[in-house]
Amino acid sequence: MRALVVIDPQNDFCPGGALAVAGGDEIMPKINAMMESFDLVVLTQDWHPNGHSSFASSHDGAEPFTTFDMNYGSQVLWPDHCIQGSIGAAFHPDLNTDLANAVIRKGMNPEVDSYSAFLENDRTTPTGLDGFLKERGCANLTLVGLATDYCVAWSAIDARNHGYHVNLLLSACRAINLNGSLDISLKEMKDAGVHIAEQ
């Protein structure tokens, strides 16, 4: 069984969104074209409550893209984004959601951010994706989506740690590249055994 895992293809991560990734909208047609080639399609969705602790606005005087020490470690503080039920949290309108077998929502705990599709940033709380995939006998994953150097990379590395064979298709991803984060994340994924393809 082969699954396509589409990470956070949401309005707020596309041009015009609150945490826009350059060219984020450009990947939607490619992702749509890939879907029918897989046994399963899973979409993940950042789904934050108002006032989430990862928002810079939740910390007096804090600026977006700085770091803050949470009880689970260092956390980048982001602009308010992907607030539950908002247009920004919705899937991009160019994405075909009809073939999705499951939607995994993450980042709902107001005290813990969640980059990975498998584990929240406390590194212990599961999202349920691992159980969903293993119950269906799926061992081979291809990851695409937003953003390459954060939620996609954390998901890919966690997938390897959970025993999956993992492919990452760079042409169907886009990166934030905050302070060289893209090169760092690509090396970390390769070191973890993620197979990275350009096309």
User: pLDDT by residue (tens digit) across 1-50?
Assistant: 999 999 999 999 999 999 999 999 999 999 999 999 999 999 999 999 99
Q: Is 144's pLDDT higher than 80?
A: yes
Q: Is the peptide bond before 147 cis (omega within 30 degrees of 0)?
A: yes
Stretch 161-165: mean pLDDT? 98
Stretch 130-147: mean pLDDT? 98
What pTM did the predictor assign?
0.96
Chain-centroid distance, C-alpha 131:
18
Binned at pLDDT 50, 70 and 90, residue 115 comes out as very high
Q: Is 94's pLDDT higher than 90?
A: yes
Q: Is 60's pLDDT higher than 90?
A: yes
Looking at domain 2-49+88-197, its CATH class is alpha beta
Binned at pLDDT 50, 70 and 90, residue 199 comes out as confident
- What span, in angstroms and rounded, lies between the C-alpha atoms of 60 and 45? 27
Q: Are strands 73-76 and 67-70 parallel, antiparallel or unpaired?
A: antiparallel
Binned at pLDDT 50, 70 and 90, residue 145 comes out as very high
Stretch 59-79: mean pLDDT? 94
Taking all residues of the chain, what is their mean pLDDT, rounded to a whole number? 97
- What span, in angstroms and rounded, lies between the C-alpha atoms of 173 and 79? 21
Instruction: Domain ranges for the chain, please list them.
Output: 2-49+88-197
Active site residues: 8, 106, 151
* Phi, psi values for residue 155, rounded to 5°: -65, -40
Stretch 182-198: mean pLDDT? 97
